[in-house]
Structure 1
């Protein structure tokens, strides 16, 4: 690791599947002598899994630390070099593993965005560009596989140039769309803030004229401040943030490379030539001056990029690969001043000769490392731009540079302080599993040549001594094999069994401070609230103390143990298993302060605690299957394996259904196949049976033509009259379909419903760890897919505005929905679903006001003694009702909406109204007392009766079964559009829009 944080860079490779990311990294590994040049692009060193090698695609992100020496120019002593350390994370491109991209980009400052020059911008390219935008990474565009323009498409240099221009424009159009969307959000946020300030002025009673004048002046200032230039966001070759490359042939360049080569020859300053080498600029052969397009005057001249760059590359391919010409190859090598041995020039392997020429002329590693060093900022500058957005997610795109640190913790984070006294802040983005036998401390030590010679001498001396003592030759030979040495421990059955176990490590980056092995630090889990004290009841279970057992530098397939890690580096950490689910923040005071980390003293160390959790852009798992072991006795192993898989894979979701089945949710079929393979071979190590993918359905009802008459005459459709045995409790309920707008609103804000219910339970002192409340059994797990079956959506409103927005939608729907928001009793199923229970009884209170109403009634009861027939007596009856039967109607509602009458699937978009409830038939106090004495029996019967009434009311409408639909984007050429439509139609799909 580098000693100077200014010489550290942290980058990731992102792009569509099969656009050459892993092959590109192979070429970078060659520069560090990790693999041989002949194996680059073939070994796929970063793909350590067997199935990755077989399929030829990356499935898990992996990291490697590379060193690069670069000579100083224009400063310092002549010939001095600087040593840089580049932490590189290779990520998958397949859509099933997009979560790996999210976890990797959170740790990085820059990104190499690879785009296949032939395939162009694909769907996953847009996805990873958006991820880089959200995480504020500094991107470098790598136009890869440029050799395909020559060998496959057989384009002329001028045709290839126009193709490259269009490709860069496509990528820039994507970046421009992100900027436009961000600008609209900033404008909306600014307008909301402006309205809030004006409202505050009016509330303070300020003069209206003065207020308007001040606001107009402030509007002008802020509008000028808000407007920002988007020029720096785009990829432009003359700025050095575009690489043209062919990873398989080992070459890459920026236009600055050719500007450096031709500056002296053309007599033009290098900086000036770099600006005109890309674009519509031409060299006048007569005047030897660079002219623009408008000065061509009809002449057929080649652009400078074609003349000085592409023509030369095309000539090398033409004479080395397409039509081999040894004489011209020798001339090219001499002209370029390359040093290639004569035997290699005569090689029959033209691809190897081609890579030799390009590796010396246009080295891929040199061009890439130079671009990374010049374009991607060091951690001290990058964190100044990125950390404010992590701490304050609502900040606008350009506001992050204006935020000043508020305390020592933010100062250390913004500056990437690695001093001993700096606060230790590390973010663990994911957990990954490594076989125990592959850990460095468990590997057999490789004997050096000197040790082997010493062992040989000892063996010869032993044989000589044995011969002198009369020992047989067989015994002499077997002696050293039976006595294991420290370097080669004897294998035994127990050791082999232990070697198959998995060790969970944290994939992390240190943002400030210096972390050492053996240090005890705070572990802040994702649900920790920094605004509350660590000892607060809601924070206690989300804060732990961890012992940093080991630290490692990740080198692809290998782990290198280290004693300390400084800020700005990516590393692996052991000691988090059993505490960290998927992601966490590791915090603690600086090592130089000498303070102990103890949960009992957490309040005193609050200033060093921060929660950086929150990965954006994660793909929701949508493919679900039920699992069971072939041998029922292996069920505990399967459960243990699922727990390990849930931690080791950031995208998978595992849970147990109410039916007892163990279900796994994955991002796609390929992801599912990988998870099942890991369960069978690594985590559970048992044979597993997997069901067919479970398709989630929903039951709903609509108003259709030619429906049967209502079940209850002279009443609204959906009305059902019900009662318990002997008419101890009679009731009237009604079912009705919800307006579409309200249903969509509830579906989009499931997370807010969960939060509101959880807060209500905390106020009551109830348990909030049940499955129906949390919706996830793992810290930081993503969303509600495991309880409601819905894919997690982004909430459309803030929690404090939820009821106001719902009330506005109800009033907009009109009719009987106008006052529904104030009378909502509950949501379902699981208390967070898109169905509502409405209290229509006269004088009854809504779910938001019921507790206050009950307190008021209790106060009335204690202040006076009620008499039969008085209003206070009716209040007493209402209290008895609220206490005895309130939960029965809601419990029946939860059961009915969770299992509908059609096929026991959850309901969606239904409202159930409780119209009336009467206790004891005639309603006398004596009958009510009789019901009270049989309360336990009546409650069970009442739940069953109400549940069946809800279902009957649902069936009074026209019931429908909703099939899950997945939205996707399809890119296809115009000549195959008809076939695409046919395939989509066969899959019961529907085209909602199309564009060119």
Structure 2
């Protein structure tokens, strides 16, 4: 095995043009981790014979047991690539350091993918060439493109098309072409016009697409075959690559190429790539060792005596690995088609940095300057060997981080130039480490362009943050997740004396999981996650690792939201307790799509830009569009408070009104759930001139009552989260799938039949409230032939009037109020409204 010394590693960290930071992303079970094994074997981290079976980046015990990746795992790999193409890249020598992150494919763990994408510059998208592009492939590719991560494509499980599906060469080509087309369609949808990343379209003829089998450790791209045939035909590699894909046909009789099919003409890809591949595969699988040896010798390869002693699939694996090792095809794509930090940070900085793009920090980030001020983003906390401690893992974008260095640790709530400095700590960095899968390697310093772990910083950061040496630095932008923590459970200890350990365990769980929210409500400890599997894993971690005590859990419950569906039927008046102040409010629904824009941070912070956008797109009143006081809850939620008064000096009560608005939108009137999609308008106000009579103690509760009353008069409704459930199944059990969906209020939105296979994919909208046990019921009704994948899609109004007991929405409101310990009956309107 190759073991780099600390000196060699330190030297590799400094060659910024020879660094590649990449994530491996895909749908669940498409083969990311088995493919990663080939890269680890090529770097000497694991034995070549273990590649495909070891799943080395699944470092946790239950990842190995379940056979799926649950946590993102970072590992640094070093390769010495002696290749004429590498020398033309402008690189610094032939040694390349690849910081690789293997990410989960299950939708419940997609926050791990988001964290991985923040610290990398490129992504290898893995697609099962038989199953094709799935819902999670689309999700992770969209996330990658939104972060300006450049993709390459690896089509895995080609052996399934050959042996399991027994497809002909032309059918295999059509299958692969369709996958490339599907990926390009997604890139076309989600990629910005004139992308600074350049041409992102996948094309095997360019070399940014590879094919192979991760399980058996073989793979190839068209460059390898073009190199094999170029001298024979006297054609340049690049020109021959173009002929080995698409509508290019070869006549063996006349040895001529044509762009039209015809008698005696064979598609170039089939004749020069698939035919020799299928011959070797079938001969090796059938155990025909003499024939296999003869075929490989024609290609310039010789099987060793130990290889010839192998039998069955093992012999096939060794023969194919000798001829077409998967790592070579993937490394060629990664090094040639994915950017170095020097290239990528030039166009990624404007998306990542919150401050002005001409300040010292931003300039150093754009130039990837190791001598500039330190700018590092901590994307994830990884549990350390010392119980209760974490490695703060992130990307160094500029400067150099080293042990003993004095740094500014800025949490997400830090505001530059604020009078009171919140979420800021000035401390020394105790130690820097390189992540090596389940282990770490200490390094003396880490220049920009690298993924690094810091020891000791976890004391000051909750989940993520920015670390810098520049006093005027702004934060790097907080990550946006593609899923929401819509499923919640209450946890408690079995033995009362273990309560302090549970509280400490919840703190650690909250730190380790990017999306999980651990809160206390009405005396209960609540854990919120993305789905059933996500919660199961989190609670297992809580019990066995973070708290270390037996716990009991409630049945999962769903997070709902409150909204309104029409404008208030009256102007609602609320008087302060001293009767000297009055506020008049109304509520109405926000236009469709605006809530999502606010949540995703897509609404401009500049008042003029935002006002113009709201007027042009959502038909806002021009005056009101410039008088938006705040969004809520938490100053970023999908509700807004607007000053619609005329001739009233409301500046003196603005802060108190905003505080009341945040309180009201955090705990709605129906059942104490957060509000969503509500626009509140302050219509009028009568304010006492004496500041002593209009303080926060008078205005905050008054404004809250007015806000709640305006909701009650605007046809309140309950919003429920909805999954997009994608189920792949044989056509024969499609009826069973549809009946399970209909029993759970599921609505089918799309049905896709797979060409050349008796399979179909059913996409349906399924309320999260109805999704408990959905997977188990589906498997029992289809004898395990249907596999569902659920991803949060949108919010929808729950049927029924929440104010009327006995309706669907009314029953849910009553159940939530009872669970939260609220009075079961809703507050009466006259208890919130005042009269003149």
Task: Determine if the TM-score, normalized by the shorter chain, exceeds 0.5.
Answer: yes
Task: Report whether the alignment pairs 1:415 with 2:367.
Answer: yes
In structure 2, the CA distance between the partners of 1:304 and 1:426, relative to structure 1 (3 Å rule), is same
Task: Report whether the alignment pairs 1:800 with 2:681.
Answer: no
In the alignment, the residues of structure 1 paired with residue 120 and residue 93 of structure 2 have an alpha-carbon distance, to the nearest angstrom, of: 25
Deviations 1:661-687 (A, max 9, x none): 222221221111111111111111122
Out of 307, 329, 349, the residue aligned to residue 344 of structure 1 is: 307
Query: Are 1:742 and 1:809, in contact at CA under 8 Å, matched by a contact in 2?
Result: no
Deviation at residue 273 of structure 1 after TM alignment: 1.6
Deviation at residue 330 of structure 1 after TM alignment: 3.1
Which residue does the alignment assign to 1:170? 182
In structure 2, the CA distance between the partners of 1:972 and 1:960, relative to structure 1 (3 Å rule), is farther
Aligned length: 735
In the alignment, the residues of structure 1 paired with residue 584 and residue 492 of structure 2 have an alpha-carbon distance, to the nearest angstrom, of: 41
In structure 2, the CA distance between the partners of 1:537 and 1:291, relative to structure 1 (3 Å rule), is same
User: Which has the higher Rg, Structure 1 or Structure 2?
Assistant: 1
Matches within 5 A, 1:146-161: 146-161=158-173
Matches within 5 A, 1:424-435: 424-435=374-385
Deviation at residue 100 of structure 1 after TM alignment: 1.3
In structure 2, the CA distance between the partners of 1:891 and 1:254, relative to structure 1 (3 Å rule), is closer
Matches within 5 A, 1:601-750: 606=471, 609-657=473-521, 659-697=522-560, 738-741=587-590, 745=594, 747=595
Query: Are 1:338 and 1:361, in contact at CA under 8 Å, matched by a contact in 2?
Result: yes
Query: Are 2:584 and 2:685, in contact at CA under 8 Å, matched by a contact in 1?
Result: no
Which residue does the alignment assign to 1:381? 343
In the alignment, the residues of structure 2 paired with residue 375 and residue 387 of structure 1 have an alpha-carbon distance, to the nearest angstrom, of: 20
Matches within 5 A, 1:439-838: 501-530=387-416, 532=417, 536-538=418-420, 540-588=421-469, 606=471, 609-657=473-521, 659-697=522-560, 738-741=587-590, 745=594, 747=595, 792-796=599-603, 798=605, 800=607
User: More deviation in 26-35 or 251-260?
Assistant: 26-35
In structure 2, the CA distance between the partners of 1:995 and 1:798, relative to structure 1 (3 Å rule), is farther
Q: State the secondary structure of the residue aligned to 1:42.
A: coil
TM-score by length of 1: 0.65
In the alignment, the residues of structure 2 paired with residue 895 and residue 236 of structure 1 have an alpha-carbon distance, to the nearest angstrom, of: 53
Task: Report whether the alignment pairs 1:73 with 2:84.
Answer: yes
Q: State the secondary structure of the residue aligned to 1:510.
A: strand
Query: Are 2:27 and 2:134, in contact at CA under 8 Å, matched by a contact in 1?
Result: yes
Query: Are 2:624 and 2:642, in contact at CA under 8 Å, matched by a contact in 1?
Result: yes
Deviations 1:581-620 (A, max 9, x none): 22222223xxxxxxxxxxxxxxxx536x353233244432
In the alignment, the residues of structure 2 paired with residue 916 and residue 559 of structure 1 have an alpha-carbon distance, to the nearest angstrom, of: 61
Deviation at residue 574 of structure 1 after TM alignment: 0.5
Query: Are 1:551 and 1:573, in contact at CA under 8 Å, matched by a contact in 2?
Result: yes
User: More deviation in 907-916 or 15-24?
Assistant: 907-916
Matches within 5 A, 1:25-424: 25-73=36-84, 82-179=94-191, 182-183=192-193, 232-293=199-260, 296=261, 298-321=262-285, 323-348=286-311, 350-391=312-353, 406=358, 409-418=361-370, 421-424=371-374
User: More deviation in 694-703 or 239-248?
Assistant: 694-703
Unaligned runs of 5+ in 2: 1-8, 754-836
Deviations 1:822-855 (A, max 9, x none): 99999988898888999999x9837457579xxx
Query: Are 2:565 and 2:716, in contact at CA under 8 Å, matched by a contact in 1?
Result: yes
Out of 23, 33, 37, the residue aligned to residue 12 of structure 1 is: 23
Q: State the secondary structure of the residue aligned to 1:248.
A: coil
Deviation at residue 433 of structure 1 after TM alignment: 1.0
Deviation at residue 428 of structure 1 after TM alignment: 1.7
Structure 1 or 2: more helix by fraction: 1
Q: State the secondary structure of the residue aligned to 1:151.
A: helix
In structure 2, the CA distance between the partners of 1:985 and 1:236, relative to structure 1 (3 Å rule), is same
In structure 2, the CA distance between the partners of 1:851 and 1:345, relative to structure 1 (3 Å rule), is closer
RMSD: 4.5
Deviation at residue 529 of structure 1 after TM alignment: 4.3
User: More deviation in 134-143 or 804-813?
Assistant: 804-813
Query: Are 1:235 and 1:242, in contact at CA under 8 Å, matched by a contact in 2?
Result: yes
Deviations 1:165-205 (A, max 9, x none): 111111111111123xx23xxxxxxxxxxxxxxxxxxxxxx
Which residue does the alignment assign to 1:216? none
In the alignment, the residues of structure 2 paired with residue 57 and residue 911 of structure 1 have an alpha-carbon distance, to the nearest angstrom, of: 46
Query: Are 1:108 and 1:137, in contact at CA under 8 Å, matched by a contact in 2?
Result: yes
Query: Are 1:697 and 1:961, in contact at CA under 8 Å, matched by a contact in 2?
Result: no
Q: State the secondary structure of the residue aligned to 1:435.
A: coil
Unaligned runs of 5+ in 1: 184-226, 395-404, 437-500, 589-604, 705-715, 752-791, 853-885, 920-928
Structure 1 or 2: more strand by fraction: 2
Deviations 1:784-842 (A, max 9, x none): xxxxxxxx4445454625995899699979xxx9999999999988898888999999x
Deviations 1:15-71 (A, max 9, x none): 111111110011111123322233222221111111111111111111112121222
Q: State the secondary structure of the residue aligned to 1:113.
A: strand
In the alignment, the residues of structure 2 paired with residue 306 and residue 993 of structure 1 have an alpha-carbon distance, to the nearest angstrom, of: 33
Task: Report whether the alignment pairs 1:982 with 2:739.
Answer: yes
User: More deviation in 675-684 or 81-90?
Assistant: 81-90
In structure 2, the CA distance between the partners of 1:156 and 1:730, relative to structure 1 (3 Å rule), is same
In the alignment, the residues of structure 2 paired with residue 823 and residue 5 of structure 1 have an alpha-carbon distance, to the nearest angstrom, of: 48
In the alignment, the residues of structure 1 paired with residue 680 and residue 87 of structure 2 have an alpha-carbon distance, to the nearest angstrom, of: 75
In the alignment, the residues of structure 2 paired with residue 834 and residue 75 of structure 1 have an alpha-carbon distance, to the nearest angstrom, of: 49
Q: State the secondary structure of the residue aligned to 2:94.
A: strand
Query: Are 1:21 and 1:114, in contact at CA under 8 Å, matched by a contact in 2?
Result: yes
In the alignment, the residues of structure 2 paired with residue 109 and residue 38 of structure 1 have an alpha-carbon distance, to the nearest angstrom, of: 30
Which residue does the alignment assign to 1:219? none
Which residue does the alignment assign to 2:3? none
Q: State the secondary structure of the residue aligned to 1:369.
A: helix
Query: Are 1:63 and 1:554, in contact at CA under 8 Å, matched by a contact in 2?
Result: yes
In structure 2, the CA distance between the partners of 1:840 and 1:583, relative to structure 1 (3 Å rule), is closer
